[in-house]
């Protein structure tokens, strides 16, 4: 299971602070770092992160309010993918303000906008060089646009993140490479994985031959070795936080792995400091990333 650090978007965080954090995340062996941003101001900061890291995969999570111009997002994501030598992934948050529909489609307005945004992003990335892309929708229109080329083909991996079991699963199955269930607990996460797989099997994947939809979850972890064992970590639908000793946290994350979670995003509490981060990195991460088993010794050397 891949382990990423989830960084909540704080406007006061400077590019230099984000770079220092990314360097520490890479040094401790995390697979990636996902930065949630309320605006598009993180693109320049992530470019600095891309220059200062070598192995770490990088991601930006954008809310619906930041999706006003899919063409600009497609160009910015492709540029960051080139600057990072193919290490960038784009996540879009699927949130809603109205009750979920009983059937899919049609979709509420917010999801219709996101559906068109994903259509434009993939259209610009998946169009062959030298060809043109045109899209006319209710909310977005692109006329005769050239293809936008990234290092990763056909484009940077797309993540659809949301807790709506029906619509989020439909959008992820149709357009994305990964469905992410953020902060909803084990049982809800397992049910949403099933819904996403069901949507994929019923024609949600637009292009045949695409790889299966990857499953991921975002969880808040609060670990303290001084916590008493009578306070086990919460893995229910009602509490998004895994709180307990490092051993208890690892056991809970293995539960997520057992339901098919291929990647987990760990969010630290807002009050967490450097000591908490290093505790997670040194006692929890190695248990999820076991050292490879050395090959068995060969036969004795002889002439």
Q: Do the domain assignments include residue 296?
A: no
The residues facing 159 across adjacent strands are 91, 178
In angstroms, the Cα distances linking 203 to 117, 171, 198, 200 are: 20, 12, 9, 6
Please give the distance of CA 29 from its chain centroid, rounded to a whole number.
17
User: 């996902």: which residue's tokens?
Assistant: 34
Q: Residues 169-208: pLDDT tens digits?
A: 989 999 999 999 999 999 999 999 999 999 888 766 656 5
The CATH number of residue 142's host domain is 3.20.20.30
Q: Do the domain assignments include residue 294?
A: no
Which is nearest to 270 in space by CA: 221, 217, 231? 221
Arithmetic mean of pLDDT, 112-120 = 92
Q: Do the domain assignments include residue 227?
A: yes
In this predicted model, which residue has the larger pLDDT, 58 or 303? 58
Q: Residues 197-209: pLDDT tens digits?
A: 998 887 666 565 6
Q: Rounded CA gap, 76 and 95, in Å?
A: 23
The residues facing 181 across adjacent strands are 217
Tell if the pTM clears 0.85, that is, is over it.
yes
Burial per residue of 69-89, b for 16 or more beta-carbon CB atoms within 10 angstroms, e otherwise: ebbebbebbbbbbebbeebbb
Q: Do the domain assignments include residue 268?
A: yes
Q: Do the domain assignments include residue 298?
A: no
Q: Is 295 a residue whose pLDDT tops 60?
A: no
Q: Is 303 a residue whose pLDDT tops 90?
A: no
- State residue 13's pLDDT score: 74
Q: Is 100 a residue whose pLDDT tops 50?
A: no
Q: Rounded CA gap, 277 and 223, in Å?
A: 10
Q: Which residues span the domain enclosing 208?
A: 2-288
Q: Do the domain assignments include residue 97?
A: yes
For the chain, what is the domain count? 1
Arithmetic mean of pLDDT, 63-92 = 92
């Amino acid at each position: 299971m891949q382990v990423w650090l989830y960084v909540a978007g704080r406007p006061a965080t400077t590019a230099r602070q984000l770079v220092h954090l990314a360097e520490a995340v890479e040094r401790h062996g995390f697979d990636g770092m996902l930065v949630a941003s309320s605006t598009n101001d993180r693109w320049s900061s992530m470019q600095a992160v891309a220059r200062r890291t070598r192995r770490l995969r990088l991601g930006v999570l954008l809310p619906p309010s930041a999706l006003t111009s899919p063409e600009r997002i497609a160009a910015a994501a492709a540029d960051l993918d080139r600057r990072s030598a193919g290490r960038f992934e784009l996540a879009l948050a699927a949130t809603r303000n109205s009750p979920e529909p009983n059937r899919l489609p049609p979709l509420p307005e917010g999801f219709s906008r996101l559906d068109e945004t994903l259509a434009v992003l993939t259209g610009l990335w998946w169009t062959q060089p030298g060809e043109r892309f045109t899209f006319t929708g209710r909310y977005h229109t692109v006329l005769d646009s050239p293809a936008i080329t990234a290092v990763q083909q056909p484009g940077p991996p797309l993540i659809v993140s949301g807790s709506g079991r029906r619509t989020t699963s439909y959008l992820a199955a149709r357009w994305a490479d990964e469905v992410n269930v953020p902060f909803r607990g084990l049982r809800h996460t397992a049910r949403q994985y099933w819904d996403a797989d069901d949507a994929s099997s019923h024609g949600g994947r637009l292009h045949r031959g695409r790889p299966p939809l990857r499953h991921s979850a975002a969880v808040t972890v609060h670990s303290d070795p001084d916590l008493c064992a009578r306070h086990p970590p919460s893995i229910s639908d009602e509490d998004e936080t895994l709180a307990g000793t490092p051993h208890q946290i690892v056991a809970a994350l293995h539960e997520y792995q057992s339901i098919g979670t291929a990647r987990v995003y760990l969010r630290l509490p807002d009050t967490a400091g450097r000591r908490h981060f290093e505790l997670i990195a040194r006692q929890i991460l190695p248990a999820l990333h076991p050292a490879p088993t050395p090959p068995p010794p060969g036969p004795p050397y002889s002439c």
